[in-house]
Every structure is written in structure tokens, then in C-alpha cells.
Structure 1
Amino acid sequence: MILTANTRRRSTRRRLSVAAAALAAVTALAGCAAGSSGGSTSADTLVAYTGQSGDYQINFNPYSPSQIGGIGTIFEGLFFITNINAEEPVPLLGTEYTWNEDGTQLDVTLREDVTWSDGEPFTADDVVFTFQMILDTPSINTGGFDGTITATDETHVTFTWDHSAFTTGPSVLSRTPIVPEHIWSEIDPTTDVISEPVGTGPFTLDNFKPQAYTLKANPDYWDGEPAVKALRYVSLSGNTAGADALAAGTIDWQTGPVPDIANVSKNYPGYEAITVPLNQMVLHTCSSVELGCTGPQTDPAVRHAIYYAMDRDQMNSLAFQNTASEVSPTFALTTSQADAISDQVAEPVAPMKADPDKAAEILEGAGWAKNSEGIYEKDGQPLSLTVEVVTGWTDYITAIDTLAQQLKAAGIEVSAAQSSWNEWTDKKGRGNFQLAIDSLGQGAAADPFYLYNNYFTTKNTAAVGESAPMNIARFSDPAVDAAVEALAATNPDDDAARQTQFDIIQAAIVENMPYIPIMTGGTTSEFNAQKFEGWPTLDDLYAFPAVWASPDNAEIYKRLTPKSD
């Protein structure tokens, strides 16, 4: 495949809860005036609410699991590839690329006359440095890059592998932020927070405060200074605060639920909404005793019982305003990836209604018995579990409350433990949890391979106490690892060979269920259509329209233009 520089550009949050005092706070933070037209007083400033609860802690290290932003906006990849469509990659720091016939060599031509935001020239050496840094630092190598890279001159690099690496392409080309060698040669990418980021992207850091930070348009950006001159990211206390801010016109874009979500344009004049099913909501479980997990959820029978005790229709109605849809326990999307679902899986789609008898059969078959209070226990341990959730994520909190009632009827106790986003993230990453509610992202491209590689391989997990880059369930299965490796070496056009490996992976994850499927979330964003034009539509999903999705959000920022008064 060859992608030229002249290719025309094509035209998986959150949640929370607050009151009137918080609305006053957000108005002050955003520096905006309320009004039916929405948005800030500056016509070319976009105010974004990503679901951040509590103060921001400065960290623009794109390789840190606690980074707060900058991927796509400050740090760019070689191309832009989205997992919401199957269109050709959009050139960024790369202008064209070619694979050899067996997928062992990838040649990339780099864009000329690009400068870092500190004025230093961008060259092939920066690309080589970035990928070598990833090779030398396994904990940040979440894409599984295992090749070599060399620069043939200042604008050409060559990637080589000792195996077919077609599936590595989207990660290499799009999901690897390129960093400047002249700065990062002195940085530890695993521990350093980047407070003064230097990138090639369309925006640079303007100012930072714990309650909000601002990126400003880069006047020297290789593709021209963006029409949106500033991005202001504000911290609120929840979904209710986000809805109040929309009503007051103090934010321009958020992704998350609002009351009466089907009538956003009526209830919030000047705003419109878009809902896209993509990220699959789950209960993460710390599942592996071998890697240090403790608690009832380490028993696969408990995980399966929870799966069958859910009334997903009720949860969808009460927590998600019927914006969610069915989910497969294989985690292949039932829409765009249905052909990849193994015909050897007895139930390709999770049941929408609770089956408490099935849950009881599974638990009792594993030695659990109800106590006098109607709760199952085993070896004196009651089947009582805690679900970690971010404070103010009202839809997820409602989902847990609903789930608690459903599971209690099946003899299982669950309760919510609310914490800040930073604490919640740390608990998940280090395995200091029993259950945690969130969603699984789709990875680098529209292919279930990437989800399996990210969330189900041993290389992406770690012992409890150590930070797991993606596979926080601590799932490890040699057969799955081998199947994922085989997929990585298989030509993407060989459907039969790929399905053989999908069958192996899906059988294992359905049997073990380290991530308990809830539903496929309908990701809804509300945006200020009266102030800016160029937003994605269902007919033109050029990027995944979630404010927290990087680098997709950066592509949207670049497409937007302020509407004239």
C-alpha cells in the first residue's frame, strides 16, 4: 500500500455529580458567559470537559498511564488511523509507506521541513530514537513492537522484523507518539512527568493549573495554524456538573450522559449530540491467584455467575438511557466484527435478561452454598465484592447500584467504592482491586486482534503491586499468547487462518472471563454546533467523536472552524 502526501484528508469519558456551587466554579474556570448559544466568550477557544474529577496532576508524558493529554495535540504519530472506520491512513509526520510482500519490512517517508515546538528540526533520528526507546523499555511497549528501525537519510526510515508484522502496522504508524531525541535522551519514560512538553503537533501547552489547563494553537505547525486557537480543559465534579455546564453554555464539548439524552438539541439550545457504539463495558476483575490477586472474584465460577445474574435490559434503561447495545463474551463487536465471532462459542451474545438459576447452578457446582442471610459463601468467605468507580461517574454508579440489586437476588453482594480518577487508575494498574467498572478500547484499528493483544496477553500484564500496562485483569494463558503471536504473523487478508486463531482466543476468554461483559457502550458526546462546525457525523465518522479519545480528538480539533457571528 502506498499513501502519498497529496492524499486528501477525509472529511472507548465521562461521568460525574455536583450541585449549584460546582456550576459557579466551572463558570469561573472556563471564563465563559452563559447563554443559549453556548461556549466561551472567545469565539476561537474550545472548552473541553473530559470527565476529569478532581485536580489535574501535570503529566504530559505520552507513555505514562496517568498522562492527562497531549497525544495527537502535542505529540504526533506518523499517520492517523482510527478504529471507527477502515479508511486509508491520514499522513502526519509520515507522508507515504510501503510494505514488502511478506510483511517483514515497512518503509516510511517522513515529512520535510517540520520543526519541534522549540524550533529544533524534526528528522528521522527522532523516529529511530522513539522506537529504540520503546524497545529498550518493555513497560511502555504496549503495542508489542519487536522489530528494528534504521534511518536511511533524514526523511526515510525502515522497519524490519524477522516475522510477518502486518498487524503491527497501525500501532507503529499511528499509535506511537514521536518524541524529540534532543530532550528525551535525558528522560526516563517510565517515571518522568513532562511539565514542559515539546512536540510537533498542532497545539502547545500555554498554561497549567490543577483546576484547568490550556493548549494554544501552534503557529509553526507544518499543516498551518489551527482555526481553533485555544483548547481549555476544565475539571468538574461529575456528569451533573457537565450537564449544568452545557445548560449554562460554559463548555463546548463533553462526552458523557446528560438527562433526556435523546433530546439534547431541544434541552441545550445550540448543542447537538452523537452516539457511537464502540467500547465494550466490563467489570474488570483481578483474576489471577498466581499473579497475586485475592478475593472471591479469582474463582471463574464467580465471574460466570455474575455474568448470568445481570439483567442487561434493566441496566441499560436505568443507567445508560438505552444508549447501550448487545455485547459478545468474545469481545468481537457484534456489528462490524461479527464475522470474527467463533461458531464454537455456544452463546455469541451475552443474555439480556438475568438467569439466576444458571448463576446458582454454576456457584453451587463450584462449592459455594448460601448462608442464613441468602448470600453464598465458601470456606467461611462470603461472596461479597467491591466495585471500584470514579467519584461522580453517575451512569457507572447507577449501573453498580442496579447490579447490586440484581446480584443480591442471586446471592452475591457487591458495593461501590468511589475514588478519584488518579486513585482509581492506580488501583487498576497495580491490581489493588477486586472489580472495577470501565470499558475495553478497540485498539489501533478496526480489528479484534488489537483488543486481544492489549487486554489478554501475558506481555501486557504484571504481578499485583507492579503496574500492568493494559491487561489489568492479570489474565495469562500460553495458548492465547501463542494465538495472538500467530495472528500477528498472519496476512490480514487470510480470513481462514485468522479465524483459527480467533477460535482459540475466544474459547479461552469465554471460559475464564477475566473481564465480565456488561454491554457495548453507546458513547455519546454533546458539542457546541452553533459555535464550531466540522464535527463528525454518523455519515462522516472521520474520527471517533469522544473528547477523551486520543489521537482522534486532535483530528477533530484540526477540522473544526469557528462559525462567524
Structure 2
Amino acid sequence: MPRFVCLSPYKNKKGKIPHKGIFPLTLKLFAFQHVFVKCVLLTVFLFVVSCQSQPLVSPQKGGTLRVLVNEAFADLNPFYNHSTYSAHIQELIFDKIIYIDQSGQIKPALAQTWALSADGLKWTFTLHPNILFQDNLPLTTQDVLFTLETVKKIGGVFQSVTNNIESIKAIDDQTFEIALTKPDQTFPLFLRTLLIVPAHVYNQEGHLNPGFTSPIGSGPFSLQSFKNDQVILQANRKYFDTAPYIDKAEFIFIKDNSVALSELISGKIDFQAFFDPQHEAVLTNLPHINFLDSSTWLLFGIFFNTQNPLFQQKEVRQAINATINKEAILKYSALQNNSLVASSTVSPNSFYFNHEISPYPFDMKQAEKLFQSNGWTRDKNGFLTKNNQIFEFELMVPEGWYLTQKVLSQILMNFSNMGIKVNIRYMPMNDVIQKICVEKKFDTVFIHYSSELDLLSSELFWSDPSHSPYNFTSYINKEANDLLQASINSKSIQELGDSYKKFQWVIHEDPPLIYLFWLKFPLFYNKRVHGITADTFSNFGQIKNLWISNENIQ
């Protein structure tokens, strides 16, 4: 879970820090989407798009929104979600206590107010009144307590939500108190991915199983039907906040890329929740398709399992970074206009991005010197060997990725030229998550991720599990840990920025991944869809604000 710092928030006469509506400070810090609550995957996969003007037409009610996704659905259990889009669906079925908007502000969701005691040890939250679950039973503080206690019992990637909790107490049906073991003004952000479930449903036998696919929540949509390639949601007209304009939202996974493009062209799909360069040239010329440029970058990289003896020396990981020609990858994949070669895990448009760090240059001679300094030399067949062992590893790749083939062909050519043997293993995303996050049985994995806000680093590379359970690379670097801790203790945004810029130097010199490239993701959508704003796809809960015009558009 993410951590952040507040700048001397004001206190009222009772010694509490009040909140009403918006947290009093803008939090220009990192946050990680619910999909990575499954260990970082990565899965990351949220698309933040910038605003574009649309016709000033009054919202209309009704219709079905049809969304194309590029990954099958796994389950809909909020305690275990095992796929990116399953996590997004859950954000529509369930509600959070608070959420983070695109500008970095904490905003009310189920909780309408919260306050911190003078000693910094007790947080008091007050829920909105008259909230109903989709089975028409009321949501109370008992459901919040049940959810937190279940998370604590299950552990896993949710564990950091409860690591600092001493006790949880319901004061009444709308008010609950969380006592911490140590002061933490950032605690509300820990709750940003927590989806509140009804105790009367999830305390039944079998309902906590990972494969449970009959969810009941309090969110703006309820489940109509679930298949691995199609999920249909219907509007919850009794939603306590603004109810959806649309009647239904249909999420469709189409494995065949040509069929997916045909559905977009024909108007059978309203928008695609991912980017495929092969679609761009066609879709930009269609009169019934609108285009939004992306405001956020997505990082592509190959992450090391640093427990593997091959990757325990930083010089070896530096050598591998120097082996890959990133500029050639972007040129060959026709991505130059939407991409940057990566030098950091912090987004290039972030205040915290360190502009002084240059990407690893493509330098085969330097790479070979680094390998030789660690005892790796070429054998008669040209392979790197050490103690009669070839430098060989497995690269795990999620199935169905639209950029995979062209990017990997260049990477494999670079590895081959260096005498490194790489075995590609394609797997469904659900299995990738299981292998890297739960079992941690992998050599390397090719993934991409984004974050809700600016920073993601402590989620992935903090080796202390009490701070974050998402360090799937098993990365250990004391200096990195110290800088991340310093960022939490910062007294100003400037101190915070300094800590993160130094942190980027550390993990650049001791790289836990092959830094490949950052890619911007444009969004194409049918002109019949209205209400799209900058944070519609960084927060899938905002889909409830979209509406569909009645005019016939191809």
C-alpha cells in the first residue's frame, strides 16, 4: 500500500484534524490501483486520459455501454482478485471508504468525514447515512469491521492495510474508530483500495473462496452475469450517491485482434480500455470515433527475481540493461511518437521525476566487460558461461499482449548477440500473477504498469514487508529503504521530492528491472458516449458518470 506525507495539517480546538469533503492537502504522491493489490501486477493497467471538450448536451438515461478489454476475467472476489479487469469490475460493484482523484486529493466515498486525534493514534470515520447493499440490507460499521478483520485474517497482499492497526471499534452504526500502533497521518490512503463487503454475505461458507463469482456490494452497479470473456453489470438505482445514467455496462474480451478491431469499426463496441498501435491508424480516420490523448505514462520493463543467483549481482543487472537497444525497439514497433526510453520507475511527467538520470545506453562492449567482471565469458559457441553453466533464464510473458511480438523479437535478438539464452514462457495473466506474487517462482517477467498518481516506487521496491507486501522481485537495498522512509518523514514537498530523486539514482545504479520504455495510451471511443473526463479511466468508478446519446451512430 502507498505511503505519503501531509504538510502540518491544521487542528481544531478539540485537537483533531477535521475533514469535510476534500482532504485539506493536495497529495502529490503515488497510489496503486486495486489490480496491483494482488501483488503489484502489475496489473496494473489503468488509463488516465486528458480532458477533451464534448458537446454541451443534457445527460440522457438508458442504454448499454460496451467496453473492449484485452484480458480475460478471473473472479470477482474482492479479497483475492486475480486479473486486472476483474479488479476494475469490482470497483463498480463495491465501494471504498475513500478514494483518490487524479489530482492526488483524498475524497469521500462511503466515509463522509474523518478526523485524527491529537496524539496521531486514532482515526474516526463517519459513514454516509442510508447506504444499502444491492440486496437492500443496510451497510453499517459492522460491515467495515468485518472487512478489515477478514483482510487481517487472510493476509497476503492486503496485509499492509492492517499492519499498523491496533484495534477497530464501532461507535455506532455510522461511526467507527481505528487505533494505530504508531502515529500515521497518512493512514487514510491505506484504505483507498479496500472494498467494503456485506458481513451477512461473506461470512457464509465458501464465499471467501478465491473463485467466488456472485458478489454483492454497495456500488453503483450490480452483477447481471459473469463469464471469463464477458461481464455484464446493471445500474444500481438505489445507489446512495449519484446513480449511473446508463442501464448496463458490458465488458467484453476478444482474443482475436482483427475481430476486436472490426467490432470497434462497426460500432458494436463503444471504447477500448487499452491501446493497440495497430488500431490507431484505422480508428483516427473514422467519423464516428473520438480520440483522447493520454496524460499518463505506462512503464514497460522486464523485472528480475533477485533471489535467482543469476541476478544477485548488480553489475550483471547493469550489463543486461546495457545489452538491450531500447531505441531500436521503439522504432521497430512504430512507437516513437508515443514513447520515451525509461530511466526511472517514476513517471516522466511527475514532479518527482529525476531528469538528471539518463537511460542505460545500448553498449555491448560495456555490457561484456561487466559480465566478465563477474566471471562470465564466451564459450566456443558464443554463449556466456561461468563454471560450465550457460547464462540461461526463463522470461515469463502474459498472453495476448498487443505489443509483445515486435518488442520481444528485438529483445531476444539483443540477448542472442550477447550470448544469453532466453526461454519465453507465455501464460495467462492470472497464472503470471500467481507465479510472481504468490509463489515467487520465476526468473524474469515482462510486464507493464501505471499508477493512479505520480509514484509507485515504495510499493514495488521497499524490502520491508511491514511497509509493502508488493516487492515481488525480492529486491533488497538498504539505501533505497532509508530514502523511502525519509520520504514518509518529510516535512515538506521539497524534502519529499529530494528523497525520491535520490531513490531513483539508487535503483538506477542497482536496477531491479530492465528499464525499457514509457508509453502513452490514447483512448478511442464512439461519439455516442458522453461525459468522459480526465479521471474516468484512472478511477473506473467514474463510469457511472458516462451517458449515451440516442442518436444512431454507426
TM-score by length of 2: 0.80
1:268-347 matches, within 5 Å, as: 269-288=288-307, 293=308, 296-319=310-333, 321-322=335-336, 323-329=338-344, 331-338=345-352, 341=354
**Is 1:493 paired with 2:489?**
no
1:380 maps to which of 369, 382, 388: 388
Contact 2:66 2:268 in 1 (8 A): yes
Partner deviation per Cα, 1:36-63 (whole Å, 9 max, x = no partner): xxxxxx971111222115xx44x21112
Rounded to whole Å, the distance in 1 between the matches of 2:339 and 2:160 is: 28
Partner deviation per Cα, 1:84-110 (whole Å, 9 max, x = no partner): 423x33322111223346643333221
1:449-528 matches, within 5 Å, as: 450-459=456-465, 470-477=470-477, 480-481=480-481, 483-485=483-485, 487-488=487-488, 490=489, 493=492, 495-496=494-495, 498=496, 502=500, 505-506=503-504, 508-528=506-526
1:162 maps to which of 173, 176, 181: 181
Tell me which residue corresponds to 2:453: 446
Partner deviation per Cα, 1:439-490 (whole Å, 9 max, x = no partner): 2443xx6353x531344334289xxxxxx963221223455456545544x2
Tell me which residue corresponds to 2:13: none
Tell me which residue corresponds to 1:60: 76
Secondary structure of 1:131's aligned partner: helix
1:362-441 matches, within 5 Å, as: 362-429=370-437, 430-441=439-450
Tell me which residue corresponds to 1:152: 171
Percent identical pairs in the alignment equals 17
Partner deviation per Cα, 1:6-60 (whole Å, 9 max, x = no partner): 99xxxx89xxxxxxxxxxxxxxxxxxxxxxxxxxxx971111222115xx44x21
Relative to 1, partners in 2 of residues 1:249 and 1:564: Cα closer, same or farther, differing over 3 Å? closer
**Is 1:542 paired with 2:503?**
no
Contact 1:72 1:554 in 2 (8 A): yes
Rounded to whole Å, the distance in 2 between the matches of 1:493 and 1:106 is: 23
Partner deviation per Cα, 1:101-128 (whole Å, 9 max, x = no partner): 6643333221100011111101112112
Tell me which residue corresponds to 2:51: none
Relative to 1, partners in 2 of residues 1:368 and 1:140: Cα closer, same or farther, differing over 3 Å? closer
Contact 1:305 1:363 in 2 (8 A): yes
1:236 maps to which of 254, 264, 270: 254
Rounded to whole Å, the distance in 1 between the matches of 2:440 and 2:258 is: 30
Tell me which residue corresponds to 1:32: none
Relative to 1, partners in 2 of residues 1:247 and 1:102: Cα closer, same or farther, differing over 3 Å? farther
Greater mean alpha carbon deviation, residues 479-488 or residues 368-377: 479-488
Relative to 1, partners in 2 of residues 1:204 and 1:228: Cα closer, same or farther, differing over 3 Å? same
Deviation at 1:177, TM superposition (A): 0.8
Secondary structure of 1:214's aligned partner: strand
Rounded to whole Å, the distance in 1 between the matches of 2:315 and 2:416 is: 16
Contact 2:62 2:247 in 1 (8 A): no
Rounded to whole Å, the distance in 1 between the matches of 2:100 and 2:373 is: 46
Give the root-mean-square deviation of aligned CA atoms: 3.2
Tell me which residue corresponds to 2:235: 217
Relative to 1, partners in 2 of residues 1:499 and 1:43: Cα closer, same or farther, differing over 3 Å? closer
Tell me which residue corresponds to 2:48: none
Deviation at 1:66, TM superposition (A): 0.9
Partner deviation per Cα, 1:324-382 (whole Å, 9 max, x = no partner): 224333x222321336x4x9xxx62324x512122112111111111223331222222
Which residue type is aligned with residue 208 of structure 1? F
Tell me which residue corresponds to 1:114: 131
Secondary structure of 1:459's aligned partner: coil
Deviation at 1:400, TM superposition (A): 1.1
Relative to 1, partners in 2 of residues 1:480 and 1:45: Cα closer, same or farther, differing over 3 Å? same
**Is 1:85 paired with 2:103?**
yes
Tell me which residue corresponds to 2:68: 49
Which residue type is aligned with residue 560 of structure 1? L
Number of residue-to-residue matches in the alignment: 492
Contact 2:323 2:414 in 1 (8 A): yes
Tell me which residue corresponds to 2:39: none
Contact 1:388 1:436 in 2 (8 A): yes
Which residue type is aligned with residue 553 of structure 1? F
Rounded to whole Å, the distance in 1 between the matches of 2:316 and 2:21 is: 53
Secondary structure of 1:367's aligned partner: coil
Contact 1:239 1:257 in 2 (8 A): no
Q: Which runs of 5+ in 1 are unaligned?
A: 14-41, 462-467
Secondary structure of 1:404's aligned partner: helix
Tell me which residue corresponds to 1:532: 529
Contact 1:385 1:414 in 2 (8 A): yes
1:118-137 matches, within 5 Å, as: 118-137=135-154
Relative to 1, partners in 2 of residues 1:271 and 1:140: Cα closer, same or farther, differing over 3 Å? same
Partner deviation per Cα, 1:364-413 (whole Å, 9 max, x = no partner): 11111112233312222222333222222130232111111233333333
TM-score by length of 1: 0.78
**Is 1:553 paired with 2:540?**
yes
Deviation at 1:500, TM superposition (A): 6.9
1:99 maps to which of 82, 95, 116: 116
Rounded to whole Å, the distance in 2 between the matches of 1:136 and 1:61 is: 15
Rounded to whole Å, the distance in 1 between the matches of 2:125 and 2:454 is: 23
Rounded to whole Å, the distance in 1 between the matches of 2:100 and 2:381 is: 53
Tell me which residue corresponds to 1:16: none
Rounded to whole Å, the distance in 2 between the matches of 1:224 and 1:499 is: 37
Contact 2:120 2:184 in 1 (8 A): yes
Rounded to whole Å, the distance in 2 between the matches of 1:73 and 1:320 is: 35
Contact 1:479 1:504 in 2 (8 A): no
Contact 2:157 2:470 in 1 (8 A): no
Relative to 1, partners in 2 of residues 1:447 and 1:247: Cα closer, same or farther, differing over 3 Å? closer
Relative to 1, partners in 2 of residues 1:415 and 1:192: Cα closer, same or farther, differing over 3 Å? closer
Rounded to whole Å, the distance in 2 between the matches of 1:96 and 1:156 is: 10
Contact 2:22 2:106 in 1 (8 A): no
Rounded to whole Å, the distance in 2 between the matches of 1:278 and 1:100 is: 38
Relative to 1, partners in 2 of residues 1:187 and 1:160: Cα closer, same or farther, differing over 3 Å? farther
Contact 1:315 1:399 in 2 (8 A): yes
Secondary structure of 2:340's aligned partner: coil
Which residue type is aligned with residue 524 of structure 1? P
Tell me which residue corresponds to 1:22: none
Rounded to whole Å, the distance in 1 between the matches of 2:103 and 2:205 is: 35
